[in-house]
């Protein structure tokens, strides 16, 4: 079960931490966000160390669909309704700057980068897309409303975002990461203020960035209430007609299309981690219906952290943690969000003002409808009589037949059949005999 990015890329290898270190900034987590933070800090002349528990970009980054776009579903209407037009425009500007930074960097990096358009379409809710389009015009965002698309799916209405991009994320990382100060196979076992213990050695830092996908520190920030995790699936299909641009639909299961090296990447069947899903079988039915001659070349799954309001949490870990920072909750748009996070955190650590600090502040209000859902899931699972419990906060685990894993419906931790951690926030393995 490898992604097309993994089989087509070779990442540099980094040593294991085998000595005590002191640094200005410690980055915990070596996904795309952590690597970009290291890259930005290095270019800003800031001393840093990055610790990764396994290999860099070995989870969410290698399982993305790798779209670089400001088109994040119907997010602009959602932000405008809850926080106002100014914040909606700021969200666009932050992600558009990220898109342009990728365009600049990828001019000198062989990573299969190409510019293309991004579309969101609906099959049955014309008003929802028309309302979003009218808001985009009000915000001054370039977009086009269409009635048809050149894809085999039924389309009622679509919105086009021109001049977006896509690439191979691991080829990109293989270039920007090779000279960075990274230690792999160095899981942080304990954190005492701003000193981390890994492999029996200590890394003393002035500031820490937690870029571990789901934050693992429970005593600050209430992230176990502010986040939940969502799984989705991808099939790489050969023998289909060419898909020239990038497409998503407006449903909760998130149908996605793009191409790469002659393959059509069909994604979807999304669901809250720990809940039932048709997974790849559901995607296979869709592929058979719309691409009857297709053959499956690769398949993979990914997991995304979802926030209460659809906007990532980037900034100080909490109101009471001046030297601790976080980047999480990228809501399925981790490519642009990782760049936004790296730029914002580098500014904060360097003492520079950044106009997006309030927009992404992790300490903004949590009084959102999703909070009730998250709380109900946690309480229901804590009261369950099921024997197997997640070592993170004790929620009952559910067996995932599709992927042969034990999944936590509360916070999204996952464990293989032998109890080894597959996805956090859990940091300890599961006692499979329990």
pLDDT of residue 81: 95
Parts of the chain with a pLDDT under 70: 374, 377-387, 432-434
CB 373 within 8 A of CB 274: no
Sequence ranges of the chain with CATH classification 2.102.10.10 = 369-423
pLDDT of residue 340: 98
Q: How far is CA 222 from the centre of its chain?
A: 19
Reference 352, options 343, 361, 360; nearest CA is 343
The span from the CA of 400 to the CA of 64, in Å, is: 21
The span from the CA of 218 to the CA of 113, in Å, is: 38
pLDDT of residue 394: 79
Q: Any idea of the CA torsion for 90, 329, 72, 248, to the nearest 10 degrees?
A: 180
Helices (H), 178-333: 223-226, 279-290
Sequence ranges of the chain with CATH classification 3.30.9.10 = 115-166+227-306
pLDDT of residue 381: 63
Helix, strand or coil, per DSSP, at residue 433: coil
The span from the CA of 307 to the CA of 300, in Å, is: 23
Sequence ranges of the chain with CATH classification 3.50.50.60 = 4-64+171-225+310-360
The class (CATH top level) of 369-423 is mainly beta
Q: What are phi and psi of 302, to 5 degrees?
A: -140, 170
62: which DSSP letter? G
Q: How far is CA 93 from the centre of its chain?
A: 19
pLDDT of residue 383: 60
Reference 420, options 32, 63, 54; nearest CA is 54
CB 429 within 8 A of CB 420: yes
pLDDT of residue 218: 76
Which one is the CATH code of 4-64+171-225+310-360: 3.40.50.1820, 3.30.365.10, 3.50.50.60, 3.10.580.10?
Answer: 3.50.50.60
pLDDT of residue 371: 75
Reference 118, options 249, 208, 29; nearest CA is 249
**Residue 77, CB-side half-sphere exposure with 13 Å CA sphere:** 13
| Dihedral angle sign, alpha carbons of residues 396, 399, 405, 407 | negative
CB 220 within 8 A of CB 210: no
CATH (residue range 115-166+227-306)? 3.30.9.10
322 burial type by CB count under 10 A (0-12 exposed, 13-18 middle, 19+ buried)? exposed
Reference 33, options 59, 11, 54, 12; nearest CA is 59
The span from the CA of 182 to the CA of 421, in Å, is: 22
The span from the CA of 150 to the CA of 411, in Å, is: 39
User: Length of the chain, please?
Assistant: 434
182 burial type by CB count under 10 A (0-12 exposed, 13-18 middle, 19+ buried)? buried
Q: Residue-wise over 120-158: b if at least 16 C-beta within 10 A, else e?
A: bbbeeeeebbeebbebbeebebebebeeebebeeebebb
pLDDT of residue 138: 97
CB 171 within 8 A of CB 10: no
């Amino acid at each position: 079960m490898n992604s097309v990015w993994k089989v087509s890329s070779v990442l540099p290898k980094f040593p294991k931490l085998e000595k005590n270190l002191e640094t200005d900034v410690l980055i915990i987590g070596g996904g795309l966000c952590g690597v970009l933070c290291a890259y930005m800090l290095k270019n800003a002349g800031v001393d840093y160390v990055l610790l990764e528990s396994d290999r860099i970009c070995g989870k969410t980054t290698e399982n993305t669909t790798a779209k670089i776009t400001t088109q994040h579903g119907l997010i602009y209407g959602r932000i405008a309704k809850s926080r106002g037009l100014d914040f909606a425009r700021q969200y666009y500007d932050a992600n558009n700057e990220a898109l342009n930074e990728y365009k600049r960097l990828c001019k000198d990096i062989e990573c299969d980068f190409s510019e293309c358009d991004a579309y969101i379409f609906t099959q049955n809710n014309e008003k929802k897309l028309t309302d979003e389009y009218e808001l985009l015009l009000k915000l001054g965002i370039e977009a086009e409303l269409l009635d048809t698309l050149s894809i085999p799916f039924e389309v009622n209405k679509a919105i086009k975002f021109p001049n977006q991009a896509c690439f191979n994320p691991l080829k990109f990382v293989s270039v920007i990461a090779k000279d960075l100060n990274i230690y792999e196979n160095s899981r942080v076992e304990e954190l005492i203020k701003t000193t981390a213990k890994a492999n029996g050695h200590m890394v003393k830092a002035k500031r820490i960035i937690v870029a571990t996908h789901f934050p693992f520190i429970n005593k600050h920030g209430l992230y176990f209430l502010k986040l939940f995790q969502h799984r989705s699936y991808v099939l790489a299909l050969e023998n289909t007609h060419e898909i020239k641009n990038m497409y998503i639909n407006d449903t909760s299961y998130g149908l996605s299309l793009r191409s790469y090296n002659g393959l059509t990447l069909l994604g979807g069947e999304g669901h809250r981690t720990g809940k039932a899903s048709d997974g790849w079988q559901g995607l296979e039915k869709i592929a058979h219906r719309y691409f009857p001659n297709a053959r499956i070349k690769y398949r993979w799954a990914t997991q995304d952290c979802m926030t209460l309001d659809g906007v990532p949490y980037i900034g100080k870990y909490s109101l009471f943690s001046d030297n601790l920072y976080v980047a999480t909750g990228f809501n399925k748009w981790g490519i642009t969000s990782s760049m936004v996070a790296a730029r914002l955190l580098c500014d904060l650590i360097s003492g520079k003002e950044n106009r997006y600090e309030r927009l992404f502040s992790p300490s903004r209000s949590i009084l959102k409808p999703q909070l009730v859902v998250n709380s109900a899931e946690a309480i229901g699972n804590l009261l369950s009589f099921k024997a197997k419990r997640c070592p993170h906060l004790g929620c009952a685990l559910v067996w995932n037949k599709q992927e042969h894993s034990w999944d936590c419906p509360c916070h999204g931790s996952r464990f293989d059949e032998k109890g080894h951690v597959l996805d956090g926030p859990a940091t300890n393995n599961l006692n499979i005999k329990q």
